[in-house]
Structure 1
Amino acid sequence: MNTHNHTRALGTEAATAPFKTLEIERRDVLPTDVQIEILYCGICHSDLHAVHNDWGGTTYPIVPGHEIVGKVSKVGESVTKFKVGDLAGVGCIVDSCSECSHCQDGEEQYCEKGWTVVFNAADKKHGGITYGGFSEKIVVNENYVVHIPETLDLPGAAPILCAGITVYSPLKHWQAGSGKNVGIIGIGGLGHMAIKIAKAMGAYVTVYTTSQSKADDAKRLGADNIVLSTDDEQMKNCPKQDIILDTVSAKHDINSFISLLKTDGSLVMVGLPAEQLEISAFNIVHGRKSFSGSNIGGIAETQEVLNFCAEHNITADIELINVNQVNEAFERLENNNVKYRFVVDMVGLKQ
């Protein structure tokens, strides 16, 4: 029989209710499980959407957080990949069928039977609902845990587990690199990581933004070219792109960006607007262009992006906050008032 242990967490009980301290249950450590004492957890736009039930289907109480960095505090007797004291991370995926072709290929994010999200998902194997990283500790099967390189700044590394892998996976898949033009729409949590990673891959990076203040900051982040997307003249004169990553999670016109692609270029959606997007058929037919999407990355690729970021000394630009500032942080995130990722110091939960 599987027993449970109590853990303090930060969650909310309704779409409009503030965050407060809750007591949740974590399963006891099974033979292949790793227990992680959570040190830091990033706040992503997906957390905001889920908490507010923007996509429907939220179960309350909800404990969000899927950019988790911590230290292994306990391992099951069959665990081979981790030992107590290791730095470890958990992203969006905490389980999958492990048998379908996608899981076998290390692409658990496309699991045919559906993977289990780290928070607010039905736990098919252990029952109940999953709770995320806004908590003291988490228990996860070792196959869904990654090693955090010791050279990375820990709070700054947390967003690599979602924002980092979400942009790394499509940049790698569409072969960003030397001699390629990569466009990035939006400079937020995802966009600012995309600039750093695409540059480290050797690409020529153009950033599209509606904000002059963010345009000024894009150069510091490593962008080669900045285009104010509200300026028709700048849009008309900017270089044609091999790949454009669209990181925007609000309604916007994507046809003006598709027309900036080279022949055979692809606009890849990684943002998740709640509204439907409209695409002109003429726009993609002319030039054999693609409108594509990409969803996070598998566990092996998440480890790969962490190693890549360590090698190139890349971390997120973060604002480190304590647990008492989470309500304010979600409000500010809604108003896009953060450069560029909030990360919560979870130590405050223990007090």
Structure 2
Amino acid sequence: MAKSPEVEHPNKALGWAARDTSGILSPFNFSRRATGEKDVKFKVLYCGICHSDLHMILNEWGMTTYPLIPGHEIVGVGTMDGIIDTVSAQHPLLPLIGLLKTQGKLVMVGAPEKPLELPVFPLVMARKLLGGSCIGGMKETQEMIDFAAKHNIKADIEVIPIDYVNTAMERLQKADVRYRFVIDIANTLKSNA
């Protein structure tokens, strides 16, 4: 038996969406499905926009489905369903494992030189998972940050409120921007409910 929309998509959400090829963005209330076991839930605080978003809202690549809420490269706050551990030095895992909820996941991307102590009991009692990924480590990231600081290299961004997004898209289209627009989601997106 099919589930009702209220059961299938119980989480209320708000974004700014394009509804047609005009690319005009306006407040859009929608519902999302419940967070599943393999999902990560974020509260979006900031969201970058760029030319790929502009192409999508204008359907310039011929594959847009409306309504479309553009934006990617988000910064927000990953609940404790999962933790990505980037530390490449000796450190205790027990505090991190303790932050995970039942069936939570700890993913190691840092690579300490010496083996870490792994407390197995808290893993097995709450069915928590430990995994790894080789996408870089803290050492390389720190070297890059140190180099940027030494040479005064900074990211050029323009922080904008959500209600400036249509003007930002127009400016992107006119190539009237030298840097990345970043929408201040946390301080400017207000519910229209």
TM-score by length of 2: 0.60
Letter in 1 for 2:190: K
Q: Name the structure 2 match of 1:53.
A: 59
Q: Name the structure 2 match of 1:337.
A: 176
Unaligned runs of 5+ in 2: 82-100, 108-130
Q: Contact (CA 8 Å) 1:319, 1:338: kept in 2 or not?
A: no
**How far 1:303 sits from its partner (Å)?**
9.1
Q: Does 1:312 pair with 2:151? A: no
Higher relative contact order (CA 8 A, sep 6+): 2
2-structure distance, mates of 1:18, 1:302? 40
**How far 1:308 sits from its partner (Å)?**
5.8
Alignment match of 2:32 (pick from 3, 13, 26): 26
2-structure distance, mates of 1:307, 1:57? 39
Residue aligned with 1:48, SS: helix
1-structure distance, mates of 2:62, 2:16? 21
Matched ranges for 1:1-150 at <5 A: 3-4=8-9, 5-73=11-79, 75=81, 77-81=102-106
Deviation string for 1:261-288 (max 9, x for gaps)?
Answer: xxxxxxxxxxxxxxxxxxxxxxxxxxxx
Q: Contact (CA 8 Å) 1:41, 1:343: kept in 2 or not?
A: yes
Letter in 2 for 1:344: I
Residue aligned with 2:163, SS: helix
Unaligned runs of 5+ in 1: 83-142, 144-297
Q: Contact (CA 8 Å) 2:23, 2:58: kept in 1 or not?
A: no
Letter in 2 for 1:27: R
Report the CA distance shift for 1:61/1:304 in structure 2 as closer, same or farther (over 3 A): farther
**How far 1:54 sits from its partner (Å)?**
0.8
Q: Name the structure 1 match of 2:135.
A: 300
2-structure distance, mates of 1:32, 1:303? 25
**How far 1:18 sits from its partner (Å)?**
1.3
TM-score by length of 1: 0.35
Report the CA distance shift for 1:322/1:3 in structure 2 as closer, same or farther (over 3 A): same
Q: Does 1:349 pair with 2:192? A: no
**How far 1:55 sits from its partner (Å)?**
0.8
Letter in 2 for 1:310: I
1-structure distance, mates of 2:137, 2:68? 25
Q: Contact (CA 8 Å) 1:309, 1:315: kept in 2 or not?
A: no
1-structure distance, mates of 2:76, 2:33? 18
Q: Name the structure 1 match of 2:96.
A: none
Letter in 2 for 1:349: L
Q: Contact (CA 8 Å) 1:32, 1:77: kept in 2 or not?
A: no
Deviation string for 1:197-222 (max 9, x for gaps)?
Answer: xxxxxxxxxxxxxxxxxxxxxxxxxx
Q: Give the share of equivalent positions with the same residue, in percent.
A: 37
CA RMSD of aligned residues (A): 3.2
Residue aligned with 1:81, SS: strand
